[in-house]
Amino acid sequence: MMLWIILSITLAVLAWFRFLKPMNHFTKLGVKQSKPWPIVGDQWTHMFQKMSLLESIEFYYNMFPGTRYSGIYQFHIPTLIIKDPELLKQLTVRDFDHFTDHRTLVDADVDPLWAGNLFALTGRKWKDMRATLSGSFTSSKIKKMFHFINGTAENFVAFFLNKNEKLIEVEMRDTFSRFANDIIATTAFGIEVDSLKSPSNPFHLMGKRITDYAPLLKRLRFFAILIMPKLTKFFNIGLFDKELSSFFYKSIKETIQVREEKGIVRRDMLNTLLEARKGIQHEYSDAIETGFATVKESAHSGQGIDFANLTDADLAAQAMVFYLAGFDTISNAMCFGSYELAVNKEIQNKLRSEIVETHRLNGGKVTYDSLLKMKYMDKVISEILRKWPPAGVVDRVATKPYTIEPVNADEKPVNLRIGDVFWIPIFGIHRDPKNFENPTNFDPERFSDANKRNIKPYTYVPFGAGPRNCIGSRFALLEMKSLFYNLLLNFEIEPTKTTTVPIKLSAKSFNPAPEGGIWLGLKRLTSKPFTMLWLILLIPLAVLMWFLFLKPMNHFTRMGVKQSTPWPIVGDLWTNIFWQMSLLESIEFSYNMFPGVRYSGFYQFSIPTLIIKDPELLKQLTIRDFDHFTDHRALIDADVDPLWAGHLFALTGRKWKDMRSTLSGSFSSSKIKNLFNLMNGAAENFVTFFLNKNEKLIEVEMRDTFSRFANDIIATTAFGIEVDSLKSPNNPFHLLGKRITDYSSLVKRLRFFAILIMPKLTKLLNIGLFEKELSSFFYKTVKETIQAREEQGIVRQDMLNVLLEARKGIQHEYSDAIETGFATVKEYTHSGKGPQFANLTDADLAAQAMVFYLAGFDTISNAMSFGSYELAINKEIQNKLRSEIVETHKLNDGKITYDSLLKMQYMDKVISEILRKWPPAGISDRVATKPYTIEPVNADEKPLNLKIGDVVWIPIFGFHRDPKNFENPTKFDPERFSDENKSNIKPYTYVPFGAGPRNCIGSRFALLEMKALFYHLLLNFEIEPTKSTRVPLKLSAKSITPSPEGGIWLGLKRTTST
Write the pLDDT tens digit of every residue in 78-105: 999 999 999 999 999 999 999 999 887 7
Task: Tell me the mean pLDDT in the region 546-560.
Answer: 68
| Cβ count near 415 (within 10 Å) | 12
Report the C-alpha gap between 914 and 911 in whole angstroms: 5
User: What is the CATH classification number for the domain harbouring 837?
Assistant: 1.10.630.10
Which amino acid does the sequence have at 216?
A: L
Assess contact for 1034 and 1044: CB atoms under 8 A: yes
Q: Which residue has the higher pLDDT, 279 or 557?
A: 557
- Structure confidence at residue 536 as a pLDDT band (50, 70, 90): low
3-state secondary structure of 384: helix
> Does some domain include residue 897?
yes
Model confidence at 283: pLDDT above 60:
no
502 and 373 belong to one structural domain: yes
Q: How confident is the model at residue 289 (pLDDT cuts 50, 70, 90)?
A: low
Where in 39-137 does DSSP place strands (E)? Answer: 69-74, 77-82
Q: For position 56, what pLDDT does the model report?
A: 86
CA-based radius of gyration for the chain = 33
Segment 550-555 shows an average pLDDT of 68
Of 1049, 859, 880, which is closest to residue 974 (Cα–Cα)? 880
pLDDT in tens, 355-405: 999 999 988 889 999 999 999 999 999 999 999 998 889 999 999 999 999
pTM > 0.75: no
* Cα-based angle 24, 25, 30 (whole degrees, multiple of 5): 95
- Please state the rounded mean pLDDT for residues 768-789: 75
Report whether 398 contacts 420 (CB < 8 A): yes
Output the CA–CA distances (angstroms, integers) from residue 1021 to 177, 493, 1025, in the order listed.
74, 76, 13
Residue 326 has pLDDT above 90, yes or no: no
pLDDT at 1027: 93
In a domain, 188, yes or no: yes
pLDDT of residue 546: 45
Phi and psi, residue 151, nearest 5°: -60, -40
Residue 598 resides in a domain = no
Q: How confident is the model at residue 954 (pLDDT cuts 50, 70, 90)?
A: very high
DSSP string, 225-271: HHH-HHHHHHTT--SS-HHHHHHHHHHHHHHHHHHHHHT----SHHH
The count of other CB atoms within 10 Å of the CB of residue 350 is: 15
Query: In this predicted structure, what is the pLDDT of residue 292?
Result: 65
DSSP structure class, residue 90: I
Residue 16 located in a structural domain? no
State the Cα–Cα distance between residues 73 and 53, nearest whole angstrom. Answer: 14
Q: Please check whether residues 519 and 642 belong to one and the same domain.
A: no
> Is the pLDDT higher at 181 or at 347?
347
Same domain, 641 and 500: no
- Between strands 1049-1054 and 697-701, the pairing is antiparallel
Q: Are strands 414-416 and 932-934 parallel, antiparallel or unpaired?
A: unpaired
pLDDT at 191 over 90: no
Q: Decide which of 524, 545, 580 is a domain's last residue.
A: 524
- Looking at the fold, whether 517 and 642 belong to one and the same domain comes out as no
Rounded Cα gap, residues 185 and 202, in angstroms: 11
Measured CA to CA, the distance from residue 186 to residue 1054 in angstroms comes to 75
807 assigned to some structural domain: yes
Strand spans (E) along 437-538: 491-495, 519-524
- For 839, the domain range is 637-650+667-919+1001-1054
Instruction: Tell me the percentage of the chain whose pLDDT exceeds 70.
Output: 78
Asked if the structure places residue 580 within a domain, the reply is: no
Looking at 524, 549, 579, the residue that finishes a domain is: 524
* DSSP H or E segment with residue 853: helix 842-854
- Window from 150-154, 758-762, 868-872 with minimum mean pLDDT: 758-762
964 CB-side CA count, 13 A: 14
d(CA 919, CA 820): 17
| 856 within some domain | yes
Task: Report DSSP letters for 532-565, one per residue.
Answer: -HHHHHHHHHHHHHHHHHS-GGGHHHHTT--B--
Of residues 366, 409, 40, 86, the one with CA closest to residue 227: 40
Q: Which of 134-143, 309-318, 374-383, 821-830 shows the lowest mean pLDDT across its residues?
A: 821-830
- What rounded mean pLDDT belongs to the chain? 82
What is the model's pLDDT at position 288? Answer: 66
At residue 904, φ and ψ (nearest 5 deg) are -75, 110
pLDDT at 528: 42
Provide the percentage of residues in the chain whose pLDDT is more than 90.
39
Mean pLDDT along residues 901-912 = 95
Give the pLDDT band (50/70/90) at residue 823: low
**CB contact at 8 A, 664 and 996:** no
- Give the span between the Cα atoms of 601 and 618, in whole angstroms: 15
The pLDDT-based confidence of 531 (bands split at 50, 70, 90) is very low
Domain end, chosen from 492, 524, 556, is at 524
Greater confidence (7 vs 590) lies with: 590
Mean pLDDT over 189-216 rounds to 71
CA distance linking residue 771 with residue 776, whole number of Å: 9
pLDDT at residue 234, rounded to an integer? 59
- Confidence (pLDDT) at 983: 87
279 and 133, same domain (yes or no): yes
Specify if 313 maps to a domain.
Answer: yes
Q: Does 507 lie in the same domain as 645? A: no
Number of domains in the chain: 2
Please give the Cα distance from 551 to 428 (Å, whole number): 60
For 126-180, write each residue's pLDDT tens digit: 888 888 777 777 888 888 888 889 999 999 999 999 998 889 999 998 898 888 8
Residue 980: predicted pLDDT: 92
Q: Are 861 and 728 within one domain?
A: yes
Q: In this structure, are 148 and 291 located in the same domain?
A: yes
CA-nearest of 964, 399, 1049 to 700 is 1049
pLDDT digit string (tens) for 631-682? Answer: 988 776 666 677 677 778 888 888 888 888 877 777 778 878 888 888 899 9
